[in-house]
Structure 1
Amino acid sequence: MPDTADSRSLAERPLDELIACHECDLLMLKPNLALGQKAICPRCGYELYTHRHSVVSRSLALVLAALLLYFPANFLPIMRLDLLGQSSIDTMWSAVLGLYGADMPEVAVLVFLSSMGVPLLKLLCQLLVLLSICLKVGRSYGLVLYRIYHELRVWGMLEVYLLGILVAIVKLGDIAHLAIGTGLVCFVSLLLLQVWLEVVMSPHQIWEALAGEEDGHASA
């Protein structure tokens, strides 16, 4: 748990030795954590961060796996629908094209960005950030890309589309024959990998590694 101090002693400290709670704004001394330890705010109990082991290598493996699943998840069939003697095979990309063909270009662009464009940009930003740390080159660009990634996080909505797919399967299951496609398996796997990546890719260790701090880079 971080140490708190009076306002005068905190004012005399360098900024890199201080940390503020994201929930209650309590300013405190930044703790030195061992692997696996967590920093908890003493006032509200909010978890400030966790010091994880092999952050960069584990995150890089997850990013590469997610990129391998990205194209199958979006371009392989999600489901096959047989209704009244007619069959249709749907993918995420065909859904975007269908909206555009139905004279709803604004909705098509929004669906494309939130389900395909932004998730891909997030993964590419993460990949380049991790490579800049591993190769020890272009860390200034890595800082910019990591900021962009944090801005894009609110626009990625894969879980919303997964929920929509599940609702459609339940609704149509009684009136049509549905067959789950490989694309849905890849889509669910991609979503789970991204959630796992959010947990593994410890932000404070990534920021420290990008800043070139020895302790941060070693721990990452």
Structure 2
Amino acid sequence: MPDPADSHGLSELPLETMVACHECDLLMLKPQLQSGESAECPRCGYELYRHRHQVVRRSLALVTAALLLYVPANFLPIMQLNLLGQSSQDTVWSGVLGLYGTGMQGIAVVVFLCSMGVPLLKLLCQLAVLLSIRWGIGRSYGLLLYRIYQHLREWGMLEVYLMGTLVSIVKLIGLADLSLGFGLACFIGLLLLQVWLEVTMSPHQIWEALSGEDAHAGH
């Protein structure tokens, strides 16, 4: 647990040696953590950050798996509906096209951005940032892309889309012959991988690695 910085000598300390609590704004000296350890605010108990083992390698594996699932999750059938002799297969992409074709272009654009566009852009930004750290090149571009990623985090809403899909499945199950497709499993897998990636890709370690402060982030 870090000690609060001495206010008398606070102005003389380098900024990279200090950390501020996101909850109570307490300014304190940044502790040196070993793998698996976490730092907590001594005033409010908020976890400031956790030092994770092999962050870059594990994150690269997760982001690669998520990118492999992206295409089947969005373009393979989520469900197949049979009603009065007519059969239809629905995918995330066909849902966007359906909204656009029925005159709801604005909603179609929002659904596309939140369920397909932004999640893909986030994954590509994460991949570029991790490769920049892994290969030790383009750190300035890595810093820019990681800032962009931080602003995109609130716009990827796969969980909202999944919840809407599950609600639709529950409502349709009593009205028609409904069968779930492989695309739904891929979509759920993509969502879980992105959540796991958010947890694994420790922000403070990524920032330190991009700025050159942590040379062992991937080990």
TM-score (norm 1): 0.97
1:102-141 correspondence runs (5 A) = 102-141=102-141
Q: Which runs of 4+ in 1 moved over 6 A?
A: none
Q: Report the counterpart of residue 171 of structure 2 in structure 1.
A: 171
Residue 11 (structure 1) shift: 2.0
Residue 217 (structure 1) shift: 2.4
Q: Report the counterpart of residue 217 of structure 1 in structure 2.
A: 215
Structure 1 spans left out of the alignment, 5+ residues: none
- Give the secondary structure class of the aligned counterpart of 1:155: coil
Q: Report the counterpart of residue 89 of structure 1 in structure 2.
A: 89
Q: Report the counterpart of residue 194 of structure 2 in structure 1.
A: 194
- For residues 52 and 41 of structure 2, the distance between their equivalents in structure 1, rounded to whole angstroms, comes to 18
User: Which amino acid letter does the alignment assign opposite residue 42 of structure 1?
Assistant: P
Question: What's the RMSD between the two structures over aligned residues?
Answer: 0.8
Deviations 1:165-191 (A, max 9, x none): 110111111111111101000000000
Q: Report the counterpart of residue 26 of structure 1 in structure 2.
A: 26
Residue 87 (structure 1) shift: 1.1
- For residues 83 and 217 of structure 1, the distance between their equivalents in structure 2, rounded to whole angstroms, comes to 59
Q: Report the counterpart of residue 77 of structure 1 in structure 2.
A: 77
- For residues 135 and 170 of structure 1, the distance between their equivalents in structure 2, rounded to whole angstroms, comes to 47
Q: Report the counterpart of residue 43 of structure 2 in structure 1.
A: 43
- For residues 78 and 8 of structure 2, the distance between their equivalents in structure 1, rounded to whole angstroms, comes to 60
TM-score (norm 2): 0.98
- For residues 217 and 29 of structure 2, the distance between their equivalents in structure 1, rounded to whole angstroms, comes to 19
Identity %: 72
- Give the secondary structure class of the aligned counterpart of 2:81: strand
- How many pairs align? 218
Structure 2 spans left out of the alignment, 5+ residues: none
- Give the secondary structure class of the aligned counterpart of 1:217: coil
Residue 83 (structure 1) shift: 1.4
Residue 219 (structure 1) shift: 3.4
Deviations 1:67-109 (A, max 9, x none): 0000000000000011122111000000000000001111100
